[in-house]
A and B are shown apart, each in its own frame.
Chain A
Amino acid sequence: MKDKELLARLSEDTGLPEEAEDLAPVIRKLQAWKAPEPTVDETNRLTGTLRRLLMHRRKNNLAYRLHLGWLVLGSQPRVVQSELWAASAIVMGLGTLVTLAYAHSNAIDVTLPFVLIAPVAAAGGIAFLYGPTQDPALEIELTTPVSSRQVLLARLVLVFGFDLLFGLAGSAFLTLLRADISFWPLVTAWLAPMTFLASLAFLLMTLTLDSTVNQLICLGLWIIQNSTRLVRGIRWPFPLPDLTAAAARPWLWLLAVLFFGAALWLGGGEEHWLRNKA
């Protein structure tokens, strides 16, 4: 602080220029009182402590977690096998075309080919979602701050969301071109079975870690379940529940929630993947 500035401040504060002249030397002596400067080590210690606190806060901050979730979501389309998107789109497209060509007029929505194909398409995609055989970068991912559970969830949202979008688009397309099909009954007919079968595939993925086995189990179960509908005259020695029936839907939703939860819980630990890869 220069002399002129100091005098101006003192005059402003005391209201008396003579008093300011008198006090200036006192302040000058005080200004000569040096203070210690923090050393580089002290500064580094402080920034280290503060950085740790910031990291801890970031982990517990909702906005940061949402931002991180968004980043994880955005990074996964590049990691998920590109064939998976194409396969899901082709199966859904074929399902739409077959349903369009399906001659049975006055069809009950639950028996439409689209209702049978949509769940298989979703389960097929989710079967190839994750795991040592599908993810070459698994070890690298396991060393990042993002947990396996977050990656699993992000991929599930993406792939299931993709199938859901195609399902809705196919249903809208069918509704527009076929007067005997209504949009909402058609959607409700495939949505619950699709979610159930996808959740089963998701759970099996964490248990078997083998996409082919996983897909075969889901496909087999679905074919057996719908065999009486697909092949005329077939009989099973035991009764099979009709998973496409309206009465089954609440149970399918409940089971889907349980399966998704169990899969996330089981597959969340890094050691789960490492142990199974070993």
Chain B
Amino acid sequence: MALFSDEQLALGIQHGHAEDLDLLVERHYGPLLGFLFRLTGGDRSLAEDLAQEAFLHMLSKIDTYDYPRPLKPWLYAIAVNLTRDHYKQAEFRHTDSEAAYLDIPIASTPETEFLSGEETQRAAAAMNHIPLLQREVILLRYIHGLSLEEISQVLQVPAGTVKSRLSLGLKRLKERLKADR
């Protein structure tokens, strides 16, 4: 068990303790980078930019943090919103629809360095073809192990919406993998 919880570290950061900031980064930078790497379809440099941006954003808003509100969902919420903003801006340059970015597949091919086998490569490629909203919930639920309630906090939607996105996303993922065979 960690000596200090994330929430206690956040409180320390509010009081200006740099050591608490170091601990929090050490604890969450890797997993957050992993989440963003998969969310962006295996784009490492974009994931790094977004992860760093998420920490900077969290620090700039640390005064608004209310102890003992769970910190991890807040950090991931920031990361998800930054990712959405990135795709929104990218897509808005090409279409007139502001919501279109939520449904588009990711153009990039996952970096093969991190794909151990052909099956995994296919699964990663299939993930890139399902909409961002569903990709978020699948990754948070099955790769990063968040509960429905935590995902609901991250995405700021009801648990029912999380479940319906999960159901739809899994269905599409399965169909996509079948179609690729």
Contact = CB atoms under 8 A, between A and B. Distances in A.
Contact of A53 (B60, B142, B166): B60
Q: Sort chain A's interface into a size bin.
A: 35 or more
A112 to B, nearest CB: 50
B120 A33 contact: yes
B110 A33 contact: yes
B166 A35 contact: no
A30 B56 contact: no
B101 interface: no
Interface string A28-72: 011111111110001100110111011101100100100000000
A53 B56 contact: yes
A228 interface: no
B52 A54 contact: no
B114 A34 contact: yes
Q: Determine chain A's interface SS by DSSP, over half rule.
A: helix
A47 B48 CA distance: 14
B25 A42 contact: no
Nearest to A58: B16
A50 B21 contact: yes
B21 A35 contact: no
Interface stretch (B26-34, B72-80, B82-90, B92-100): B26-34
A14 B170 contact: yes
Nearest to B123: A29
Interface string A1-28: 1000010011011100000001100110
Interface in A86-125: none
A237 B62 CA distance: 68
B123 A54 contact: no
A29 B21 CA distance: 34
Given A33-B110, A47-B22, A1 B145 contact: yes
Interface in B166-181: 166-167, 170, 173-174, 177
A51 B18 contact: yes
B16 A61 contact: yes
Given A13-B163, A13-B166, A38-B33, A32 B120 contact: yes
Contact of B114 (A1, A35, A61): A35
A13 B167 contact: yes
A13 to B, nearest CB: 5
A22 B110 contact: no
Contacts of A22: 174
A32 B122 CA distance: 11
B142 A1 contact: yes
Contact of A43 (B26, B116, B173): B26
B13 interface: yes
A50 B143 contact: no
Interface string B97-122: 00000000000001000111101101
Contacts of B47: 36
Interface in B25-82: 25-26, 29-30, 33-35, 37-38, 42, 44, 47-48, 51-52, 55-56, 59-60, 62
Contacts of B38: 33, 35
A35 B142 contact: no
A55 to B, nearest CB: 8
Contact of A46 (B25, B115, B122, B143): B25
15 contacts: A1-B142, A13-B148, A13-B166, A22-B174, A26-B174, A29-B123, A30-B127, A32-B117, A33-B115, A36-B33, A36-B37, A38-B29, A43-B26, A47-B21, A57-B60
A-B pairs with the 10 shortest C-beta distances? A35-B34, A29-B123, A34-B114, A32-B120, A58-B16, A35-B37, A13-B166, A33-B124, A27-B142, A30-B123
